[in-house]
Each structure stands twice: as structure tokens, then as C-alpha cells.
Chain A
């Protein structure tokens, strides 16, 4: 804890803000207050420079040429892979597969692992707080394999009922897939406990870390999960680049997800043999700029320090929770004991959409809607919520701007 206390003082938010050019712009004549980080984070200058330099100076395809540029960029991609490996503390870089986004990573596991291992009557266990991207791929798999999707309930605070979760782990359960940090509630799930309970029954576990990785240090080996997925654009990196971590033994035994160039060892019309990990799962020319850009983003986050970031955001979350609670008629949706970065709320008499438009007039960007978690909205009996989500560059002053904007909402929509 003492290191965290020290860390709070160490994070220089004003200096960090200077690294993000977009934070200098105005919208609607007001300084931008960007509080939609759970949708996507802004990009720091080193990431932007890396992307520009790649296209201006380094562009070539990887694994193809014997010429200088191709070898240079092939090395850059390998380096970025090792950065991601270190970032998640994977055992070896072969366990890091690049995809388009978290969604594709989950679909890859569902289709490759799932179709190989699941059959009629088998069950996949998820939770009630999953993003649609951790629901629909499993529903597709269920249709294909005649297996069944089971859902562990959450309580009124938005916490997983771990006792109910355990009860749902049965002889038919063949896979568990759970979100690390809920994008609409902010709940941080007890992922190590989830893995322990599932592994006690030899059930593999996928953790969806899309929201978690930029708020807290993640160690996939300590967590013990079999698969972990995340996406670059929430990690202050480019869009279109995602990550699948998988334990080598599992990835090795899985069939390819897509066929094409780069994922083969040799091809004849009679027989094709596949490349080694991770290339077996990376058919076609990858998003090279995205991979290198993600590497730069990981460097940036590591440079600031996830411990420091977590401490700063914890302070903002506590400050924001208190400030929002004082807005008349406001109800927070998601009040889990272990929570990070997300302030989801409704205001009596004002629809989230109207809230979003009114605070936008003050330069404040928040998300309104169901946040791709319709079952969560149904669970809490609301059609939608307004959601402010924080990142390392946000400040208490920005929370104040949001709260002032919300008083405008009250003026226009008196309870």
C-alpha cells in the first residue's frame, strides 16, 4: 500500500495531458472533457509518431522479403509481440496472437477451441454482466454444437454471485468465459477465484480483459487463466489491433481459425501443414502499423506505471462517486465493492440520451445507451444509462465540469 500512496503523488497528470494532443482541442466552444474512455482511449504522441514513422519510413510487409525494410519491420513486429508478452506476463511470446480486437479474439477461441471440444448437452458458463462480445460468439457456438449457454447471476450492486457461479459449474460445463472489469458497471470480478473454481473441475477459462488492462496490472500466469483477451484501442493504442493470450499447450492443440498466407508451413493441393504458434492463428498480412503502434502504447503505459495509473484513477472514482451522489435524483448503476473507472448512472425524469446531449453542450463526452450490455440494463430495470469512464489523463476538475453540466440537466428536466 505504501507504494500506492507514493504513486499517487508520482503521477503528474498535467504532464501526461500534454502527451495527448486531442486534449488541447475544444468542442462546442468549450475545452474537451473526454469521459468516454471505456469506449476508446485517446492516443499519446509517441503512439501517433510511431504510426506516422511506420508509414513514412518503414512500410514493408513482414516475413516476406530478404531486403532490409522487410527484415526491419519483421523485427519491429516481433519486438511489439514481446512487449505485449511482458505487459501481460505471458510465459513466452508464442502465446500472444494478434487479432483485430477483443471480439475477434473471443470468436477465435469459440470457433477453434469450442467447436473442437463442445458437443450436444455441453455447457458454457458466462455471467450476467458480459459485453455482447462475450455472449454472442458463445450463442453462435451453441447453435453449431447444440451446446448450452448458462449465465451466473449478479446482485443489486452489480457483483457476481460467486456462490451461484460455483453451483452452475457442473459435469456438463466445458468452458467458462468471464469479463475482468465490467464496461457498464465497473465491477472488478474475482478472476483468480473464478479460475481456481473452474480449474478444480478441469474447465478452461477465458477472461475478457478489454476494460481491465489499462486500469490495473494484469499477470496472466498469476491469474492462471487459459485465455485472456484485450484490445489495442482501449490501451491508448490504434484501433483494429487486438490480442489473444492463450496457454501454449491449448493453442498448440487448436485448429487454425482462418486459412491463408503466413499461417502455413507448406501448401500442396493434397495437404497443407500449418505454421508454428503464433502464426498459425495469424492468416494474411496483419495490421502491422497497429501492432507496432500497440507496442508503443504498451511502452507508454509501462513508462507511466499501471500502479500509478490505478492509484490516480481510484482517487478520481472515489471523488466522482461522491460528487455524482450529490446530484438530486441521480442513481449510480453498479456499486460493487471492487470497482474501477466506470461511473454509470441514471437521473430521474431525464433520459440518458438527453443527459448526453446536454452535457455535450458543455464539452463533456460521455456514453449513453446500453453499452452493448442489454442484459445488464434489463437486470437493473433501466433502458439505458449515462456512463462517465475515466482514464489516466482525467482530473478532478473535469469531474466538476461534468457535475456542473448535470445541474443543467436538472434545470431542463426538473424531477
Chain B
């Protein structure tokens, strides 16, 4: 049970139950849909940009506790960051959840260190990364918001 608690830390369970920024974003500049077809996780991430700065981010969708908490904490973490800074943050995050040889740097990762336990569960790495990939799909999409329906 203690090992499982390394994965399902209180912060993760809390963000799963009460996700932050869990809404569609009025006036968003970009959005993208992301899904893990194998798990049935589906997220939509919304972003507001001011030049090169992420001024707001939000998400809607359904997924497991890891993917939902990751999206919730991510939308908090990237707010106010420049796009390159957010990208560096994801690189460090990704390193933390995949590489056992690096210990998580709480100074740069902040609250995101709660996902350190994911690296013992390789099948769950994609759950933790889904929101981030979706965020960059949104940022990198050259076109404005389109409705896919």
C-alpha cells in the first residue's frame, strides 16, 4: 500500500476529485483535443496567449486520476510562463516520470514533483503526459480555434 501511495499521493487524489481550471476557456486563443485511444482518456486543453506568454490554461474531459491530476496541476503550473519556459518545464517533467537516474528538482518542478512515483509504472507515463502533449498541440497549431463537431 505504501508503494501505491507513492503513485497516488494526496495531492493527486485531491486534484482528481476537484480538478483546477476544469472548464472551457472563454476567449481562448488555441485549443486541442488529446486522447489515449488505448485507455479511453480524452482531454481538451484551452490556452490564452499574450505574445509568447501563456496567460491562462484550462481543460475539460475525462480520464484516470493520473491524467486528470496532471492536467489540473499543469494548467496551474504553466500560467504566466513563456512558451519556451513551459516547454522546458515539460522536458523536466518528462525526465522525472521516465528516468530513474534523475531525482526530481522541486525548485523548478514545484508541485509537479508529486508525479515522481509515475516512473515506477511505465504504462501510466502516457497518462501523466497526455495533458502536456495536448497543450503543445494547442500551442503549435497554427490555426485559431476550430470546432471539430
Q: Which residues of A contact B (CB under 8 A)?
A: 350-354, 357-358, 361, 368-370, 374, 377, 382-384, 408, 412-413
Instruction: Compute how far the CA of A357 lies from the CA of B38 in the bound complex, rounded to whole angstroms.
Output: 15
Contact A361 B4 (CB under 8 A): yes
B66 on interface, CB distance cutoff 8 Å: yes
Q: Given contacts A354-B64, A357-B7, A412-B13, is CB(A368)–CB(B1) below 8 Å? A: no
Contact A353 B13 (CB under 8 A): no
CB interface residues, B 117-138, toward A, < 8 Å: 121, 123-124, 127
Contact of A351 among B13, B38, B65 (CB under 8 A): B65
Taking CB atoms, residues of chain B closer than 8 Å to A413 are 13, 16, 65
Taking CB atoms, residues of chain A closer than 8 Å to B127 are 353
Please count how many residues in chain B sit with their CB below 8 Å of the partner chain's CB atoms: 23
Taking CB atoms, residues of chain B closer than 8 Å to A354 are 8, 64-66
Q: Shortest CB–CB separation between residue A333 and chain B, in angstroms?
A: 13
List 21 A-B pairs, Cβ < 8 Å. Answer: A351-B64, A351-B68, A352-B39, A353-B39, A353-B66, A354-B64, A354-B65, A357-B121, A357-B123, A358-B4, A358-B8, A361-B3, A369-B39, A369-B40, A370-B38, A382-B40, A383-B39, A383-B42, A383-B62, A384-B39, A412-B8
Taking CB atoms, residues of chain B closer than 8 Å to A357 are 4, 7, 121, 123-124
> How many contacting A-B pairs (Cβ < 8 A)?
58
Q: Shortest CB–CB separation between residue A344 and chain B, in angstroms?
A: 13
Contact of A369 among B38, B42, B65 (CB under 8 A): B38
Those 4 A-B pairs whose CB atoms lie nearest each other, nearest first: A383-B40, A353-B64, A384-B40, A351-B64
Contact of A370 among B1, B7, B13, B40 (CB under 8 A): B40
Taking CB atoms, residues of chain B closer than 8 Å to A377 are 40
Taking CB atoms, residues of chain B closer than 8 Å to A370 are 37-40
Taking CB atoms, residues of chain A closer than 8 Å to B62 are 351, 383
Instruction: Compute how far the CA of A351 lies from the CA of B13 in the bound complex, rounded to whole angstroms.
Output: 12
B34 on interface, CB distance cutoff 8 Å: no
Q: Shortest CB–CB separation between residue A220 and chain B, in angstroms?
A: 33
Q: Shortest CB–CB separation between residue A184 and chain B, in angstroms?
A: 12
Taking CB atoms, residues of chain B closer than 8 Å to A369 are 38-40
B63 on interface, CB distance cutoff 8 Å: yes
Taking CB atoms, residues of chain A closer than 8 Å to B64 are 351-354
